[in-house]
Amino acid sequence: MSKHRVALITGAGRGIGRGIALALAGEGFDIAGCDVVYEPENRAAGLFEVQAAVGAAGAEFLPIRADVADLDGHEALLAAVLERYGRIDCLVNNAGVGPKVRADLLEESAESYDRVLGINLRGPFFLTQKAAPHLAALAAREPEARPCIVFITSMSAVVSSIARPGYCISKAGLSMAARLYADRLAGSGVGVYEIRPGIIRTEMTAPVREKYDRMIADGLVPQGRWGEPADIGRAVAALAGGAFGYATGSAVEISGGMDIRRL
């Protein structure tokens, strides 16, 4: 049984998931982080690099091999966290992928579409369904715990990108999933929030880095820079810490001002 708050973060081995893990560790959370890549011998990258970084921040990190798209594995994932810590204070649905190949809307394959939606939408929807009763039970026995669920979606939930149709649809669906869970769980003491990252410097955006460099230089992002995983981490930490306890169902875009309508 952990004496600290505990966060379960999917896709915790790199990028935004890593940034969230470090931010929550800095706020006193112990972390359970899962990823499809599980390489104990690799201490330079992945879950076990994050484990070392979280440990250096004074928190504990439990690495778990899990694929959120595998619905049959959800019970085992939650059981591993509860066996180790006895509680889950915060579920962060972060794991996600883009298409392996960007293709025009009229050329999207069923295979690519199904893969992206399976990981980005179907998986987190059903993982949250399994996790929600555990968070609600924690809220009932420890009202001061303020458990929460955070969905990491994307500005692509509301902005068209015709070369990534499956991705946009998956994030739009996940945005609605966040709102539905916020509605359903509002009376249980579990807050549910959505964060929509903009252009974040991660392994996912690395293949199109030069394109985004040019677009940022041309004024696409009012704040004039890339977002970093730490920017998303700080936002999750604020939500998980209870700073917005009267704002369940809210969506926060962390995009450097890209959501500002400008002439």
We report the CATH number of the domain holding residue 202 as 3.40.50.720
Q: What percent of the chain has pLDDT over 90?
A: 97
Which are the contacts of 14, defined by CB distance < 8 A and separation ≥ 6?
A: 35, 45, 46, 50, 202, 203
Give residue 124's pLDDT: 98
Domain count, the chain: 1
38, 113, 167, 212: which one is catalytic?
Answer: 167
State which residues form the domain around 102.
Answer: 6-254
Say if 224 falls within a structural domain. yes
Say whether 66 sits in a helix, a strand or coil: coil
pLDDT in tens, 79-102: 999 999 999 999 999 999 999 999
Residue 2 predicted with pLDDT over 80: no
pLDDT in tens, 122-166: 999 999 999 999 999 999 999 999 999 999 999 999 999 999 999
Say if 263 falls within a structural domain. no
Give residue 263's pLDDT: 84
pTM attached to this predicted model: 0.97
**Residue 38 is among the residues annotated as catalytic for this protein:** no
Which are the contacts of 3, defined by CB distance < 8 A and separation ≥ 6?
A: none
Residue among 140, 137, 233, 136 nearest 192 (CA): 136
Distance, CA of 118 to CA of 120 (rounded, Å) = 6
Q: Which two tokens stand for residue 208?
A: 């199109």
Give residue 1's pLDDT: 66
Q: What percent of the chain has pLDDT over 70?
A: 100
Say if 262 falls within a structural domain. no
Distance, CA of 154 to CA of 43 (rounded, Å) = 29
